[in-house]
Every structure is written in C-alpha cells, then in structure tokens.
Amino acid sequence: MAKKLTKGEKKLFGVCSGLANYFDVDPTIIRVLFVVAVLGFGTGILIYLIMAVIMPDK
C-alpha cells in the first residue's frame, strides 16, 4: 500500500504532523524546520499556508 500525504493531529492545521507521519520522523523536528524557514528565509509561512490548503484531511 502506498503512503499518502495527509494532515495529521492538529496543532494549527496539522501540516507538520502530517509531514512527520509521511516521513516517519518526530513532528517536533518538522516544526523546528518550519520555524527556521520562517526566521531564516521568510518563506516558511507561505509554504505552510499553501500546504494547509492543498493537503487533504485524513
């Protein structure tokens, strides 16, 4: 059975936990990467919002 990228447990929109479930890593690591992207590059918020709209619910 193929993996599907879906939203996970919702803290805000469930994007980070969905990505963590898909890649089999801790959700905290994904959340830290998004914070680094926001603070370092400024693109993290845009990517997060796009993924929140595009990713399907479970």
Render 15-36 in DSSP notation, one character per residue: HHHHHHHHHTS-HHHHHHHHHH
Task: State yes or no: pLDDT of 40 exceeds 80.
Answer: yes
User: 11 or 27: whose pLDDT is higher?
Assistant: 27
Residue 25, amino acid: V
Average pLDDT over residues 3-10: 86
Q: Is 0.95 surpassed by the pTM of this model?
A: no
Q: How confident is the model at residue 20 (pLDDT cuts 50, 70, 90)?
A: very high
